[in-house]
């Protein structure tokens, strides 16, 4: 079985049982609903206890359970640019706002990146009389670039210079 086939099996069971992602994530537990959902969609891995909980919930085999605990090939099968309108809006956010985010992060922190591994994300619904809003909060560890070959008093990491 390919990982994409396991994803389709999980989605078929979800449809058949008429489960919501919130219910599934509550049953599996242990981490952010974004990560649990992402893992079931093939983009993250579950811990062994979470994989066991998911296998019990979905009636999966031992092999399928083990697949949920394997490091996935993240982004596999993704089309660039994305064609799904909702996912494309995130791509558009990065295309348009990415340069500003980059210079603002560098001005505040220095020469480096925001980790997408040491990272937290939360999504909440904000009621609004003009139409409910989606609020996504992201928090990633700042990782300074390492300046190879720095000697003596030379700065070795890209932290902001004071």
Residues taking part in catalysis:
89, 92, 115
CA-closest candidate to residue 7, choices 67, 66, 49: 67
What is the rounded CA–CA span in Å between residue 12 and residue 6?
10
What one-character-per-residue DSSP string does 112-150 give?
A: EEEEEEEEEEEEEEE--TT--EEEEEEEEEEEEPB-TT-
């Amino acid at each position: 079985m390919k990982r994409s086939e396991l994803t389709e099996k999980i989605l078929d069971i979800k449809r058949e049982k008429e489960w919501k992602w919130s219910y599934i994530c509550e049953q599996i537990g242990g981490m952010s609903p974004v990560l649990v959902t992402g893992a079931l969609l093939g983009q993250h891995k579950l811990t062994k206890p979470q994989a066991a909980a998911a296998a019990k919930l979905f009636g999966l085999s031992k092999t399928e359970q083990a697949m949920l605990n394997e490091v996935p090939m993240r982004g596999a099968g993704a089309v660039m640019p994305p064609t799904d309108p909702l996912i494309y809006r995130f791509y558009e956010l990065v295309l348009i706002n990415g340069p500003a985010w980059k210079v603002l992060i560098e001005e505040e922190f220095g020469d480096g990146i925001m980790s997408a591994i040491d990272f937290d994300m939360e999504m909440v619904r904000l009621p609004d009389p003009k139409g409910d809003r989606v609020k996504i909060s992201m928090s990633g560890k700042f990782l300074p670039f390492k300046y190879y070959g720095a000697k003596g008093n030379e700065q070795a990491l890209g932290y902001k210079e004071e």
